[in-house]
Amino acid sequence: MGEADPTGRSSHLSSVTTNVGNPMLAPTTWICEVTAAARRRARTRLRAACVALLLGALVSAPLVAQTRRDVSQVDARQSPTWLRNGVIYELNVRTFSPEGTFNAVTGRLDELKALGVNIIWLMPINPIGQLKKKGTIGSPYAVRDYYGINPDYGTAADLKRLVNQAHQLGLKVIVDVVLDHTSWDNELMKRPAFYQHDAAGNPASPYDWTDVVQLDYGNPDVRSYMTDVLKYWIREYDLDGFRCDVASMVPTDFWEQARKDLEAIKPDIMMLAEAQEPELLAQAFDIDYSWTEYHALSEAIQGGGSAREIQAAWEAERRAGPRGALHMRIADDHDEQRAIALFGVHGALAASAVIFTMDGVPLLYNGMEVGDDTESTAPALFEKLPVFWAIAERRPEVPRFYHWMIPLRHAHAALRQGRTTWVRNSDEDRVLTYMRSDSTEDILVAVNLSNRPFHGTVEMMGEGELTELSPKTGAPAALPVLFLDPWGVRIFRRPR
pLDDT band at 398 (very low <50, low <70, confident <90, very high): very high
Q: Give the span between the Cα atoms of 334 and 124, in whole angstroms.
A: 12
Report the pLDDT value the prediction gives residue 471, as an integer from 0 to 100. Answer: 85
Residue 17 has pLDDT above 70, yes or no: no
Residue 21 has pLDDT above 50, yes or no: no
Q: How do strand 212-214 and strand 326-329 relate by DSSP bridges? A: unpaired
Assess whether the region 81-411 and the region 419-495 belong to the same CATH fold: no
Residue 14 has pLDDT above 80, yes or no: no
Which of 23-37, 169-183, 468-482 has the least mean pLDDT?
23-37
Q: Give the span between the Cα atoms of 93 and 106, in whole angstroms.
A: 11
Q: Give the span between the Cα atoms of 165 and 167, in whole angstroms.
A: 5
**Percentage with pLDDT > 90 across the chain:** 83
Report the pLDDT value the prediction gives residue 148, as an integer from 0 to 100. Answer: 98
Q: Give the span between the Cα atoms of 457 and 322, in whole angstroms.
A: 35
Determine which helix (DSSP H) or strand (DSSP E) holds 316, and give its type and residue range: helix 308-320
Residue 135 has pLDDT above 80, yes or no: yes
Report the pLDDT value the prediction gives residue 94, as an integer from 0 to 100. Answer: 97
Say which DSSP state 68 is in: P
Is residue 90 a contact partner of residue 334, using CB atoms and an 8 Å limit?
yes
pLDDT band at 478 (very low <50, low <70, confident <90, very high): confident
Q: Give the span between the Cα atoms of 2 and 14, in whole angstroms.
A: 16
For the chain, give the number of residues.
496
Residue 60 has pLDDT above 80, yes or no: no
Report the pLDDT value the prediction gives residue 460, as an integer from 0 to 100. Answer: 87
Q: Give the span between the Cα atoms of 470 and 489, in whole angstroms.
A: 8
φ and ψ at residue 481, rounded to 5 degrees:
-75, 135
**Which residue has better confidence, 41 or 172?**
172
Summarised one tens digit per residue, pLDDT across range 254-289 is 999 999 999 999 999 999 999 999 999 999 999 999
Closest CA to 7 of 196, 180, 186, 210: 210
pLDDT band at 23 (very low <50, low <70, confident <90, very high): very low
- How much is the average pLDDT of 56-77? 66
Mean pLDDT for the chain overall = 88
Closest CA to 386 of 133, 147, 137: 137
Quote the CATH superfamily of domain 81-411: Glycosidases (3.20.20.80)
Summarised one tens digit per residue, pLDDT across range 117-127 is 999 999 999 99
Summarised one tens digit per residue, pLDDT across range 401-455 is 999 999 999 999 999 999 999 999 999 999 999 999 999 999 999 999 999 999 9
Summarised one tens digit per residue, pLDDT across range 332-380 is 999 999 999 999 999 999 999 999 999 999 999 999 999 999 999 999 9
CATH number 1.20.1530.20 given to 419-495: no
Determine which helix (DSSP H) or strand (DSSP E) holds 263, and give its type and residue range: helix 252-263
Report the pLDDT value the prediction gives residue 126, as an integer from 0 to 100. Answer: 98
pLDDT band at 57 (very low <50, low <70, confident <90, very high): very low
Q: pTM of whole model > 0.85?
A: yes
Closest CA to 300 of 433, 427, 484, 450: 450
Domain positions in the chain are 81-411, 419-495
Is residue 27 a contact partner of residue 17, using CB atoms and an 8 Å limit?
yes
Report the pLDDT value the prediction gives residue 420, as an integer from 0 to 100. Answer: 97
Residue 12 has pLDDT above 50, yes or no: no
441-448: strand order across its sheet? 419-422, 431-437, 441-448, 489-495, 467-468
